[in-house]
Amino acid sequence: MTQQVSRDKGTLLLAFITGLAINGSFSVLFSAFVPFSIFPIIALGLAAWCLHQRYLNCNMPDGMPGLAAAFFLLGILVYSALVRAEYPDMGSNFIPTILMVALVFWIATRIKRKRNQ
């Protein structure tokens, strides 16, 4: 039982890191405000490969694909809010922050519901 829980946490963490890395790679390649770095691209490749290997080798329990997608979206929103806070010329980070908080509450209710079952 504890091995399945640690696998679930690992999948969610990899989905979050993949979201961060994909938005970081996009920002590095296409934004004039963010200086170029190769590390988000490397992180994206490694996180996506690890997530794919986990998908091939482990069965996902019910509700896990939705949670993984939510953590992926959360990673995208977190990176967007942080970059916009660092570079205010890009625009306001109000919308990504509001969406991020709403998504965190949704994730918390799903995890709580999963624990009660």
SS3 4: helix
Can you say whether the dihedral through the CA atoms of 29, 35, 40, 42 is positive or negative? positive
Please state the pTM of the whole predicted model.
Answer: 0.89
Confidence at residue 5, expressed as pLDDT on a 0 to 100 scale: 61
Closest CA to 22 of 40, 46, 2: 40
Closest CA to 103 of 73, 81, 76: 73
63 φψ region: left (φ > 0), alpha (ψ -120 to 50), beta (else): left
SS3 105: helix
Cβ atoms within 10 A of the Cβ of 40, count? 21
Distance (Å, rounded) from C-alpha 53 to C-alpha 46?
A: 11
**pLDDT tens per residue, range 40-96:** 999 999 999 999 999 899 888 888 899 999 999 999 999 999 999 999 998 899 999
**pLDDT tens per residue, range 9-44:** 899 999 999 999 999 999 999 999 999 999 999 999
User: What percent of the chain is modeled with pLDDT above 70?
Assistant: 94
